Amino acid sequence: MPTMHNTEVRIVFWTDLAIDAVAGVIVWFLLHPQILGTTNKIHTGAVMGLLCAALAVNLIVLLAVARYHFKCVRRFTDEINSGLHGKRDLQLDEFHEGDFNKLQSAVKDVMDVHSNQEDQLEKEKRNMQRSLDDISHQIKTPLSSIGPTAEEIIRHPEMDSFERKLLLHSIIEQSERIRKLTETLLRISSMDIESVRLSEDTFTVAEWVEEAYEPLQIHMELHDKTLHTQIPPGLTICGDKRLMVEALTNILKNCMEYTPDGGTITVEAEDTAVCTTVVVHDSGMGIAEEDKPHIFKRFYKGKNAHGDSFGIGLNFAQTVIHKMGGDIKPDNHPEGGAMFTIKLNKGNINI
């Protein structure tokens, strides 16, 4: 019988049964005094009184159990209300077995999910606020340059055409900086709040490096800089190809900016059963020791950083690689120059 699965019901049932059995035995002996070796007759009223006493005890037991349950349910309800109003450490431990225990477990699971969702929303709110603050802070400088430049053109209509073109070109440059900065920050922010759905593409490391290098090729050739690759043929990786190409482009661009004319950038890859390792190193000045702990921080600029650097390229690269279940470490190559070691674990894409 399903009802008997409840511990509280079983306790009341067996308690009542024991009281009734004891009362029944006593009444039977009182109605048959010869069994006890006596001939005294027991008045019917005494028997009825005994039965009433047994019923009264049953009633007291039922009321006690009901009172206990009411008290527990009231405290249970109070804890749930407290949880809905922000309390985290809920004391939902009144019931140990039975249907109430199942209800308690279900409610506790719901409250845990509710608490986790609140934590996630709060985290997303903080990340979004930080991103908005970042964007606002970073666009102030180019905006402060665009305004005065435009005013200069308006105030001097007789300005020489060559000078006017220079000022207009400056406005276009600053506008493009704002566009690129905003786009990158928004992509980083969307990954911070986990609103980006990553795709699971499969592609070769050689293809990854080739596409990442393409936007930099002209600049590299103009400055006699060379890209060397040592990649096993057919070595493949998985992840969001578009984001990973952009991340590697940022790493290569960083190496390119610190590589002198005539220098080289080398990309090496190695495959193991656990991960794929890609090492990018240049022939530049290397990374200063004081910069290593901060090089991936958003808007951080090392002591040798270029004046027009935003300080978000490497941060974006690290964010993407972490989303792919991998890791990236900065160091200096034994032969000189900066070195970035990327480890892409197999099957750990954080989609």
Residues 13-35 have pLDDT tens digits of 666 667 666 666 666 655 665 55
Contact between 305 and 242 (Cβ < 8 Å) = no
How many whole angstroms separate alpha carbon 168 and alpha carbon 128?
34
Which architecture does CATH list for 201-345?
2-Layer Sandwich (3.30)
How far from 206 is each of 153, 154, 232, CA to CA, in Å? 49, 51, 8
How many whole angstroms separate alpha carbon 67 and alpha carbon 72?
9
Looking at residue 45, what is its pLDDT? 58
347 Rama sector, left if φ>0, alpha if ψ -120 to 50, beta otherwise: left
Looking at residue 3, what is its pLDDT? 44
Looking at residue 351, what is its pLDDT? 45
238 phi, psi to nearest 5 deg? -120, 145
What letter does residue 40 receive in the DSSP assignment? P
Residue-wise pLDDT tens digits, 100-151:
566 666 666 776 776 777 777 777 667 666 666 666 666 766 777 777 888 8
Looking at residue 279, what is its pLDDT? 96
- Residue 260: count other Cβ atoms within 10 Å of its Cβ: 12
Residue-wise pLDDT tens digits, 194-213:
556 778 889 999 999 999 99
Closest of 348, 319, 318 to residue 330, by C-alpha: 318
pTM of the model: 0.55
How many whole angstroms separate alpha carbon 292 and alpha carbon 3?
67
Domain ranges of the chain: 2-94, 127-192, 201-345
CATH code of 127-192, in short, is: 1.10.287
How many whole angstroms separate alpha carbon 337 and alpha carbon 284?
5
Looking at residue 2, what is its pLDDT? 47
How many whole angstroms separate alpha carbon 344 and alpha carbon 278?
8
260 phi, psi to nearest 5 deg? -70, 160
